[in-house]
Structure 1
Amino acid sequence: MGTGLKFSTSFHLQTDGQSERTIQTLEDMLRACVLQLKGSWDTHLPLMEFAYNNNYQSSIGMAPYEALYGRPCRTPVCWNEVGERKLVGPELVQITTNNIKLIRENLRKAQDRQKSYADKRRRNLEFQVGDQVFLKLSPWRGVIRFGRKEPVQILDRKEQVLRNKTIPLIKVLWRHHGAEEATWEPEYQMKKRYPILFS
């Protein structure tokens, strides 16, 4: 099909957020189980895994267990399929092929649906001459800032009292950062590292 699921939105906000949604679902299931059955959450993990793998998933149109094994899971509560005949040979291959086609089609529909949700929030970006932009996106780690981090201005001063010691602090505005990202720094450290700021 030529498409792939994206499991992370850290550096690509247009992805479907599948990991975040799955984690939220598992958190909700664990919370409900711990409230109902009491005890530590880690003792309920196998039960949660079983419940999640046997839950209907709209993206594939069936439960993950059924997608993997080609039949619904038999639990102690439901033994009605014990007597079914075993499939072998070309019949098994045909059923498996049909299941794969069904899953592929359901995944394509889910991806189209997720793409339409992402397209609703997508905005066209406009750039001006002189703007710094990435020509190629790659999985960067952390926040990228252009230029060196240097203090630009002292915005405020205060003193912090710790037991029997008073430490003078200054609120520093940094280059390439907004005022909301200004930080409180010890004045003596800033005088030592950036004496030009105090002249």
Structure 2
Amino acid sequence: MIELGEHRILGPKLVCETDDKVRLIRDRPKAASDRQKSYASLERHDIEYSVGDFVFLKVSPRKKVVRFGRKGKLSPRFIGPYQILKRVGLVAYQLELPLELDLIHDVFYVLILRRYWSDPSHVVSVEEIEVLWWNYGTEEGTWEPEDSMCQQYHYLF
């Protein structure tokens, strides 16, 4: 016997409605996940370099002070460019490093490398300084490359 306030819950219409609601509840999180994944995938892409490409190497703050002699906010974030010698595994590359970096391992993770795009405007001319030689007048001063003068007379700089 059915009492007052109770209804029968059976019937094909109710079963179909409940089944549709359950399907909707299951599909919505998957749709939201797919949507978020598509937005995130736009910004992410595999970074690949070819052998022979030139890349910059990211310098960590601790190594800037120790290895490069510069400190503070004006120190470089990237050094280089260095040439890629070979690919090591899926996400690492071996670089051709100069002799002053021989204490550093030459294989680096792909995320600490940045591609170098060659541009003629990146070429910096050699700085020259005017040298006033001892026992000569100011008219006889010569212009010399700063690098060679620093090497020969490092105590003056």
Under a length normalisation based on structure 1, what TM-score does the superposition of the two structures give? Answer: 0.23
Structure number with greater CO (CA < 8 Å, separation at least 6) is 2
Q: Which has the higher strand share?
A: 2
Larger radius of gyration: 2
Under a length normalisation based on structure 2, what TM-score does the superposition of the two structures give? Answer: 0.27
